[in-house]
Structure 1
Amino acid sequence: MMKCLCTKSKMDKLEFSESHRVIPDNHGAEIRNLEKSRAQAQAKSFSCLNRETQQLRSRLPSGHEADKSTKVSASSSTASSIKSFISGGFGGVCAVLVGHPFDLTKTRLQTAPPGAYTGAVDVVRKTLARDGVSGLYRGIVPPILGVTPIFAVSFWGYDLGKKLVYAYTPNRTSKQLSTAEVAAAGFFSAIPQTFVAAPVERAKVLLQIQGQGQSGPKYNGVIDVVRGLYREGGIRSIFRGTGATLARDGPGSAAYFAAYEVTKKYLTPAGSSPSELNLGAVIIAGGMAGVAMWSIAIPPDVLKSRLQSAPTGTYSGFLDCARKTIATDGVKALWKGFGPAMARAFPANAATFLGVEASRVLLDKLF
C-alpha cells in the first residue's frame, strides 16, 4: 500500500514538472505562429460560411413573400373554380337547346304504357301532329333554369375532384392524371350535382309526359309543378328519385369525363397539348363523351323516369321499381329510349363541351 502511494506521488510530481517546464524561445515562436494561422483559418472559414448562409437566405422567400405566394395560389385556385362553374353553366344551356327534343322523345318512350308508341319516330310524329314544333320543346323551362346550375356544379365538381386527386397523391411523378383518376374525379362531380339535378329532373319529367293521353295538361308550368309536389308530399316528394339520379350520374359522369380526356389525348398531334385542340376536335371529343355516358346510363335513367313520374305509392324505391319494371315489361324495358338517348348524346354533348371550352377561353382572356 505504501509503495503504491509513493509511486502515485512521483507521478504527480512528474506531471507537475512537465506542465511547468520552461519552453525554449524558438519553440514558443513556432507555437504562436501555428495558433495565429489556426485563428486566421477559422476566421476565413466562418466568413465563408456566413456569406453562403446570406446567399441561401436571399434565395428563400421571406415570411411576407411566402404568405403572398400562398395567397396568390389560393386566389388562382378560387378563380379556376369560378371559371369552371361559369363555363359549365354555359355548356349546359348549349346542351339543352340542342338536345331537348331528343330528351322529350326518350322520356315519353320510357314512361308511356306498352303500345302507346311504335318507336322514337312515332313519338315525334304524334307530338308534331298534336302540338306542332313547339311540342318538341315542352318542359324546356325546368332544364333551362336547372341545367345551367346542374352543369355548372358538375364542371365545378369535376375541377374540385381533380384537385382532391392531386391532394391525395402528393408524391406523384406526373402532373397528368391517369384515366382512372379522371374517372374518379368525374364520379365525384356527380355527388354535388345530384342535389341540384334531382328536383329539376322531377319537374321536367312530369311536364314532358303530360298531355299524351285524353286528359289535358295537369300543370301550367314549373312553379305549378313544384307547388303541387310540395302540397302532395312536401320536400320529400320534390326530391323523389335522388338515389336513382346518383345511380345514373355517378358511373355516367365517370365515363363522361374519362372518354372526353381520352379522346382529346388521342386527337392531339405529337408535340402538342390537348388544350391546343381546334373546335372540330373538341366537338368530336364532346360527342364521344356523351355516347360513353349514355351507353351505361340508360337502365338507371329508365328507373329514375318511372320513379319520378309514377303516382305516390307505386314504388317503394329504386330496387322495387327495377323489380316491378322487369316483372311487367321484361329486361328489355330497362333499355327503352336508348335510340333517342344515343341520337341526342353526340350533338348535345358536342355542344356542351364546345360551349364549355369556348367560354373558358373567353374567361381566361378576360380574367
Structure 2
Amino acid sequence: MEFIAGIFAGISVTLSGHPLDTIKVRMQAGHVHSLSQCILKSYRADGFRGFYYGISSPLCSIPLVNAVVFGSYSQAAAYLGNDNTNIWNGILAGSYAGLVNTTVVTPVELIKCRMQAQSHNSEIGTEMKYKNSIDCVKKIVKEQGIRGLYVGNVASIYREIPGYAANFVAYEYAKESYRKLSGKDTVPTWALFISGMWAGFNCWFWSYPQDVIKTKLQVGFPIERGWDGGFYMMAKLIYKEEGWRGFWVGFSACTIRSTIPNGFGFLAYELAYEIITRHWVREPHLVNH
C-alpha cells in the first residue's frame, strides 16, 4: 500500500516542483547565481515551457522513485518496530530508504539535469543538444554506454542517505509535536501539509552541498573521475573557485521547491494511503498518524 501511495506522492511533487527545480539546476550549473535573474532570463529565452524542460523523465519515473522510497522506509520502520517517535529508528529507516533509492534515481536525475541545463540563451544554460528525454538517453548511451547514465552515482548516494534520513525524521517529529501540543491523536490535513514542508526543507538542507556536486558532475563539467566518480575533485574545485558559498548556489530556489511541493507530496501520500486502506485493505498504517 505504501508503494501505491508513494506513486501519488511522486506525481504531486513532480508537477508542483519541477519549474523551480529547473531554476535550481541552472543556478547550480553556474550560469546565473541570482534567483530573480535566472527566472526572468529563463522565461525570456525559453518561455513558460522552458521551466518544464526534462519533466518527462521525472514524471515517468519519480512516481516509481517515491514508491521505492516510501515502501523501503515503511519496510525498515516495520523491521525496527514501527516506533516513529524514536529518532534513531527514523534515521536508520530513512537512510535505508535513501540507499535503496539510489539504484533508480541516478539515471533519472542525470537525464533531468541534462535537459534542464539546456537553454536557447547561452547565458543561462548549455546548448540545445537534446530534443527530448528519449533523445537524451540515446545520445548518452551512444557516446558513453550504459555507464554514462550513472555519472554522479556516488554523489547521489551521499545525497540520498542523509537527505531521506532527515526527511522522515523531520516529518514524524512534526506530526508528533502536533499531537503533543493539541492533545489529539489525529493529525489534520493542514498539519500534514506543514509537516511535509518541514520535512522537505530538512531533506534538502542536509543534502544540498552534495546535490550541487552531483549536478555539476551530471551536466558534464570536465573533471578527473576516480573511484568516487569525481565527487572529491569536484568538491575541491568548487571550494577553490567559490568558497563555501559555492556549495549553496541555488538554495534560494531549492527552499521554495523543497517545501511547498513536499507538503503536497506527503499530503498526497497520506490521503492516498487512507483511501486505499479504507476501501480495499484493513491494516494499521506503518507510518502512524
TM-score strictly above 0.5: yes
User: What is the DSSP-based 3-state SS (H/G/I as helix, E as strand, rest coil) of the residue aligned with 2:207?
Assistant: helix
| Separation in structure 2 between the aligned mates of residue 344 and residue 332 of structure 1, nearest angstrom | 19
Q: Give the structure 2 partner of residue 152 of structure 1.
A: 67
Is 2:153 the counterpart of 1:235? Answer: no
Q: Is the 8 A contact 2:223 2:233 kept in 1?
A: no
Is 2:126 the counterpart of 1:218? Answer: no
Q: Give the structure 1 partner of residue 283 of structure 2.
A: none
Q: Give the structure 2 partner of residue 93 of structure 1.
A: 11
Of the structure 1 ranges 175-184 and 155-164, higher mean CA displacement relative to structure 2 is found in 175-184
CA shift digits 1:39-91 (9 cap, x unpaired) = xxxxxxxxxxxxxxxxxxxxxxxxxxxxxxxxxxxxxxxxxxxx101111110
Match of 1:285 among 195, 212, 237: 195
Query: In the alignment, residue 344 of structure 1 is paired with which amino acid?
Result: R
Q: Is the 8 A contact 1:110 1:306 kept in 2?
A: yes
Query: In the alignment, residue 236 of structure 2 is paired with which amino acid?
Result: R
Of the structure 1 ranges 300-309 and 225-234, higher mean CA displacement relative to structure 2 is found in 225-234
Q: Give the structure 2 partner of residue 366 of structure 1.
A: 279
More helix by share: 1
The 5 Å alignment of 1:1-367 reads: 83-112=1-30, 116-166=31-81, 175=83, 177-211=85-119, 212-213=121-122, 216-268=127-179, 271-273=183-185, 276-311=186-221, 315-316=225-226, 317-367=230-280
| Separation in structure 2 between the aligned mates of residue 195 and residue 310 of structure 1, nearest angstrom | 21
| Separation in structure 1 between the aligned mates of residue 208 and residue 99 of structure 2, nearest angstrom | 19
- The TM-score normalised by the length of structure 2 is 0.90
| Separation in structure 2 between the aligned mates of residue 117 and residue 128 of structure 1, nearest angstrom | 13
Query: In the alignment, residue 336 of structure 1 is paired with which amino acid?
Result: V
Q: Is the 8 A contact 1:298 1:337 kept in 2?
A: no
% identity of equivalent residues: 30
Unaligned runs of 5+ in 2: 281-289
Distance 1:310 1:266, change over 3 A: same
Distance 1:197 1:176, change over 3 A: closer
| Separation in structure 1 between the aligned mates of residue 222 and residue 33 of structure 2, nearest angstrom | 28
Q: Is the 8 A contact 1:109 1:123 kept in 2?
A: yes
Q: Is the 8 A contact 1:162 1:185 kept in 2?
A: yes
Of the structure 1 ranges 210-219 and 198-207, higher mean CA displacement relative to structure 2 is found in 210-219
Unaligned runs of 5+ in 1: 1-82, 167-173
Query: In the alignment, residue 74 of structure 2 is paired with which amino acid?
Result: D
Q: Is the 8 A contact 2:98 2:161 kept in 1?
A: yes
Distance 1:175 1:202, change over 3 A: closer
Structure scoring higher RCO (CA < 8 A, sep ≥ 6) equals 2
Q: Which has the larger radius of gyration?
A: 1
- 1:102 shift after superposition: 1.0
| Separation in structure 2 between the aligned mates of residue 311 and residue 326 of structure 1, nearest angstrom | 15
Q: Is the 8 A contact 2:33 2:250 kept in 1?
A: no
| Separation in structure 2 between the aligned mates of residue 350 and residue 205 of structure 1, nearest angstrom | 23
- 1:270 shift after superposition: 5.3
- 1:176 shift after superposition: 5.3
Alpha-carbon RMSD:
1.7
Distance 1:193 1:84, change over 3 A: same
Q: Is the 8 A contact 1:307 1:315 kept in 2?
A: no
Q: Is the 8 A contact 1:102 1:343 kept in 2?
A: yes
Q: Is the 8 A contact 2:110 2:151 kept in 1?
A: yes
- The TM-score normalised by the length of structure 1 is 0.71
